[in-house]
Structure 1
């Protein structure tokens, strides 16, 4: 998350003036919208002149908060430490939450002061200031990232990077990331080099809505004098905190991706900062010792969260309270100047300078982490990341002094609001134009020649497989093309027949094959069952069978309890859906059930291997009670790399992406025991490994003739799966079903 709220141009409200202030007088200034409002005693002042005489127990006016500047350094430092995997700082992502509270405080201070001074808020001026403050650096890094991705990332990733850049320019990348992250087909994709822009999008969404709410409250107060503006603001913010925090707590476990990226679960953090801005005047009366203690405790809470939390911590939810309240303590205590508080540490030059460039450092560090190792041709490691972060720091300094600071202070843009808005619009348009240009780039022609065409003839595939592991180059006629691999998936996906994680009901409109067929076959399992839909559908149509698809995202066929990595908890929805599927199979009484599932599952149990095997046995016995025949397709290979990306980087050295059979089969002993248990229960097992891997050489090719075998690391492309139809037909003779009866 980026430190986006300015505080040098926008001084913190002078809350320590010797004169007393009252809430009622502040509201009177708004209701009357009088030019004399700035002279009244108000709860939030518009840069009043310093008092002529400093009264005992009070501090001089503060137009710059060194504690907040230092707090920014802490926040960005924790984020960087977490992202480069420094030991003991896995929870450094809480730095994002620190930035949210800071932004809520500073932006609300700015808006309230404008109301106190002018009786109104100028949206145009507010957005112009935001554009001048945020967009020059943000768009610079965004364009640089897109260009770097074009130079050094696999060609297969360019479209997604460009789409992310467009979403970032429009401040909706948090929504895009949430949608993409909950799409099971993207689970194997590496993080976007622009992923960190999600927090800027959350803040921009806050900036869009919050000024409008304040304008509404001021307008209502001008019509109904009984309305107290300050109290109304406090009520709105308090309700936001309660509602958003409740949603965050309730949804973070069930919907972790949307909860992490969504404004609905982060709004309370910004609102906490905003409440501090409203209460700033009253916080000046805190006793010095209490303020100092509170600031140290708050800083300790932030660091404690960074050290204690891990990637497995359910976040934000309850866990976000620790860093958010810690930040609130530091900011609130800082409203009262005290020599012995956390500011004694935070005001030192390293913290102040890092805080000053923290926005640029946040913007630069993540794309350098994501692209730097590829550009250098090395594997990511801490030894690689440390010098890369030095580069990020240097770029941040250059960005601050050459772009960020000069643009926001340029009189040409600051004198007229329209110029600032025009600059912002121009920068956003530039970012989207660069993204569109990258999207429209044609796939490069490498001139490596064409691979031998693979037909549906069994002999052709059989003949090519032994030599395919040694294929040196990626053929120009590869099908599907590397850039299209992700979309080469079964038609049943578009029909909505792979049920999402959150749903538990079996889809009812998933009938395929021969609609008039006399026999019924059920395809049961997860996406590793769905990858067999193309050949099974061909066989069903040719043999006069109806095919009913029952598949659910990442849901195991064996009757077990399992954890889901995306949900970061037990996958209870899978167990519920599986029971519903069993019940429907019992009602259908199909002639055949074809079951398949991915072996790479986190099984819950004292002995996961035994639990998995017993789960397969129990499921097989239950299915045989409902169907005449049960056939299980053993799992296909799991490669250690994303195959299309690997081939894109190694077009003239394809063997780099080929792995040994022993390395692509997870849990080999569990697999063998499961096959034995299924067969002992009375079902048939078909092992597709000999169709996909060359057992003689012990390797699993990724390109066979002109066919791309995988669309990610572990799913077969529809094109390749269809070419395996003859193999499946020989093992699954549907046309002769029932002839021996």
Structure 2
């Protein structure tokens, strides 16, 4: 987003004063309004304002206009395009303007991660520091939005840098394409002299930009209905926004309009920009068709404030009043620090929320964060951006500039080394809890059997428990989000003729830890039919990450058909889910579950269904809470919030004589609270999946229940 504030200005006149210096103060003011909207909406409303889309449009307008000005205004018509556009000086200028401030903020973020964030997040956030520094943060977030084990990226202090990464990619891609197109035009101009004509070059460039913009816009709208979380960060889907600004720079419509028309258009456009954050859900709509609102409004303000809409006889007094208002010195000043303000405001907000264990801020807290952000942005612009951008001519002197560059380089190297250590530690972290001494680590037996709990450090440690997944995940026999295949894993006693089929989503999956062990010792085979986020369903469509999960319905139907053919002796699945929506409490049996149970009953298949475990919703996941040094008794969830007073499946049990219902809530919760640690074992590896180690501590209870249910031993 923020690169727009440092891109060279357009060759048009200053709209507010009518001068021809080549600078538009009104667009600086528009940047000021855009960054104010972004920061205010982030701090107080938790919404997307449309300010990012304003910046994207301005970025494309400034950048393409700068290229055209350089080629068409400063070079003779006979000069080839490729000779006029040398990417390296321009690329170095971008690096000099953008990278120092970014690196300073990333060094600050790295230090604050170590001070504020739990150690469980150091590795993942270290990857984001690297992604942000190398300008691929948008792709990092896009792919994480599809990763079930890493879907909770909303509170990253670097999430906002996706737009900067996207724009950096846009600038580099534009330079490369310009150089390629220039080579083609240079080769063809020997045979077609007209290709040296500026008007022809403008037409070729505009046509190329238009073609890419149309493809990008079509892709954004197609992917909106396919995978919006990914689409939001996708560079291909976002390209049309800066290209729209670039097209206006190439083909500025010259239509003389009366002052009242220009003012009316400007007022409407500015009103759309200011208000669209309230009536457009940007996260779920952008960069699809609804992004035309902030993008189109920005184009209107650029156009109506330019000379292209004024009669030739117009004077300075005839300048649009909206443009004059946008050129107000305070707005222009705010626009001058927009880049640094964008860099600072989001991490300050996230670190404050993490430090205070809050989900939002009040008016006073938000104001303080914005004030500190503005002060830091001004200081960054004044003492870091401006001196380095000015080169040796800096008013602070060349010695200051050299010292500043050295300091930035040294601190960046130190921060980078720290990040590498975090990533290496996270990559090398392992969980080895298969042979824990049950006398020291009773786990579920502490609640079920009153087993004594010695004072030892819990296992797995909070820093590595996120790797404590069931064996099926590591064996890749659970189908992913977009994988329609039915993957059948085989565990337990693989040569046995008796079979227990484990069926459902990840909340069925973790029971493989117990079933595999019991099957090996008691002589039955365990087959798995698993898909991420997909409990067996009929008509209900799950919504994950803002997308309807139709694949689950299709997969469930095919799995039910497959089970009718495979005919396992017993199906093992879930019986309840947590209530959903505002104010939801406890768990229940969904109608789809009873429909599925009815199908099993009608075909005469035996079923063992286990109640879902409590979900520990909260600001921090239980492992992160523990890593902060807090007590297990406050890092879990209140029992009455997560679970109904009694097992909801008990009410439907008489309808299904073919089924046995199991409930291990008392193994995870006391009378009023479900703590993060039970019997010296961490219960969850995130906030709703049981750790494999804890399920292992449940094996004696599961084995006893299966013995009474199956009568196989």
TM-score, normalised via structure 2 length: 0.86
Q: Unaligned 5+ residue runs, structure 2?
A: 76-80, 311-317, 428-432
Q: In the alignment, does 2:639 pair up with 1:661?
A: yes
The Cα offsets for residues 609-668 of structure 1, whole Å up to 9 and x where unpaired, read as: 9995432221112123456310111010111331011111234x3322243321222xx2
Q: Unaligned 5+ residue runs, structure 1?
A: 18-57, 444-450
Aligned CA RMSD, in angstroms, stands at 3.5
Cα distance in 2 for partners of 1:380, 1:432 equals: 30
Residue 491 of structure 1: how far off its partner (Å) = 1.8
Q: Which residue of 2 aligns with 1:180?
A: 144
Cα distance in 2 for partners of 1:256, 1:723 equals: 40
Q: In the alignment, does 2:669 pair up with 1:693?
A: yes
Q: Which residue of 2 aligns with 1:32?
A: none
Q: Is the 8 A contact 2:216 2:240 kept in 1?
A: yes
Q: Is the 8 A contact 2:466 2:685 kept in 1?
A: yes
Which one of the candidate residues 638, 645, 652 is aligned to 1:677? 652
Q: Which residue of 2 aligns with 1:407?
A: 388
Q: Is the 8 A contact 2:481 2:531 kept in 1?
A: yes
Q: Is the 8 A contact 1:91 1:310 kept in 2?
A: yes
Q: Which residue of 2 aligns with 1:535?
A: 514
Q: Alignment partner of 1:685: what SS?
A: strand
Residue 390 of structure 1: how far off its partner (Å) = 1.4
Task: Note the 1:293-312 alignment, pairs <5 A.
Answer: 293-310=264-281
Q: Which residue of 2 aligns with 1:154?
A: 118
Q: Alignment partner of 2:476: what SS?
A: coil
Which one of the candidate residues 628, 646, 660 is aligned to 2:625? 646
Q: Which residue of 2 aligns with 1:122?
A: 86
Give the aligned length.
668
Which one of the candidate residues 10, 13, 29 is aligned to 1:12? 10
The Cα offsets for residues 318-376 of structure 1, whole Å up to 9 and x where unpaired, read as: 21111111111111222227523422321123311111111111111111111013335
Residue 541 of structure 1: how far off its partner (Å) = 2.3
The Cα offsets for residues 562-619 of structure 1, whole Å up to 9 and x where unpaired, read as: 34140x243222211111111111111111110127613659xxx9999954322211
Question: Structure 2 vs 1, CA of residues 601 and 129 (structure 1 numbering), >3 Å: closer, same or farther?
Answer: farther
Q: Alignment partner of 1:264: what SS?
A: helix
Q: Alignment partner of 2:661: what SS?
A: strand
Which one of the candidate residues 455, 468, 476 is aligned to 1:488? 468
Q: In the alignment, does 2:443 pair up with 1:464?
A: no
**Deviating more after overlay: 372-381 vs 264-273:** 372-381
Q: Which residue of 2 aligns with 1:90?
A: 47
Question: Structure 2 vs 1, CA of residues 472 and 151 (structure 1 numbering), >3 Å: closer, same or farther?
Answer: farther
Q: Is the 8 A contact 1:616 1:674 kept in 2?
A: no
Q: Which residue of 2 aligns with 1:564?
A: 543
Q: Which residue of 1 aligns with 2:608?
A: 631
Q: Which residue of 1 aligns with 2:556?
A: 578
Q: In the alignment, does 2:31 pair up with 1:72?
A: yes
TM-score, normalised via structure 1 length: 0.82
Q: Is the 8 A contact 2:576 2:648 kept in 1?
A: no
Task: Note the 1:367-446 alignment, pairs <5 A.
Answer: 367-375=347-355, 380-383=360-363, 384-411=365-392, 432-439=416-423
Q: Which residue of 1 aligns with 2:59?
A: 103
Residue 689 of structure 1: how far off its partner (Å) = 0.5
Question: Structure 2 vs 1, CA of residues 462 and 146 (structure 1 numbering), >3 Å: closer, same or farther?
Answer: closer
The Cα offsets for residues 140-176 of structure 1, whole Å up to 9 and x where unpaired, read as: 1111011011111112111111111011111111111
Q: Is the 8 A contact 1:98 1:327 kept in 2?
A: yes
Q: Is the 8 A contact 1:111 1:211 kept in 2?
A: no
Q: In the alignment, does 2:324 pair up with 1:344?
A: yes
Q: Which residue of 2 aligns with 1:327?
A: 298
Q: In the alignment, does 2:507 pair up with 1:523?
A: no
Q: Which residue of 2 aligns with 1:211?
A: 175
Q: Is the 8 A contact 2:632 2:675 kept in 1?
A: no
Q: Which residue of 2 aligns with 1:44?
A: none
Cα distance in 2 for partners of 1:59, 1:347 equals: 12
Residue 427 of structure 1: how far off its partner (Å) = 8.5
Q: Which residue of 1 aligns with 2:707?
A: 733
**Deviating more after overlay: 392-401 vs 374-383:** 374-383
